[in-house]
């Protein structure tokens, strides 16, 4: 259970499921927000979906790491987060535009 800085309770499973369901590129999601004013998540690309994305977009390297560096993949994941946020309550939503792409 996540209890944010304002004392609101939320299920990380609900948030993580919304993220994973928003795009096949998102293979794993881990939401963090306990004691914080907003939620953030670590997102990991699905290796099979990353390879399919690479083939579809003509990328020479189909590894998840290489696909994660591609601006089109980053935009697709950002759009997925936006879509997931639209299905979550305001307090469950993720902070956007705070991405590290390593």
Q: Decide if 43 contacts 49 (C-beta within 8 A).
A: no
pTM of full prediction above 0.85: yes
74-97: average pLDDT: 91
DSSP string, 39-98: BEEEEEE-HHHHHHHHHHTT-S--SHHHHHHSHHHHHHHHHHHHHHHHHS-TTTPBP-S-
| Alpha-carbon gap, residue 76 to 70, rounded angstroms | 10
| 30-59 per-position pLDDT tens digit | 999 999 998 999 999 999 999 999 999 999
| Alpha-carbon gap, residue 52 to 73, rounded angstroms | 11
Q: Torsions phi, psi of 32, nearest 5? A: -130, 135
List the chain domain ranges: 2-87
């Amino acid at each position: 259970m996540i209890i944010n800085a304002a004392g609101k309770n939320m299920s990380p499973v609900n948030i993580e499921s919304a993220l994973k369901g928003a795009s096949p590129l998102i293979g794993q999601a881990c939401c963090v927000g306990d004691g914080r004013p907003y939620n953030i998540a670590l997102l990991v690309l699905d290796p099979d979906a990353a390879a399919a994305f690479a083939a579809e977009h003509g990328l020479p390297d189909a590894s998840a790491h290489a696909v994660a560096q591609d601006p089109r993949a980053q935009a697709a994941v950002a759009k997925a987060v936006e879509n997931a946020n639209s299905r979550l309550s305001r307090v469950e939503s993720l902070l956007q535009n705070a991405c590290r792409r390593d």
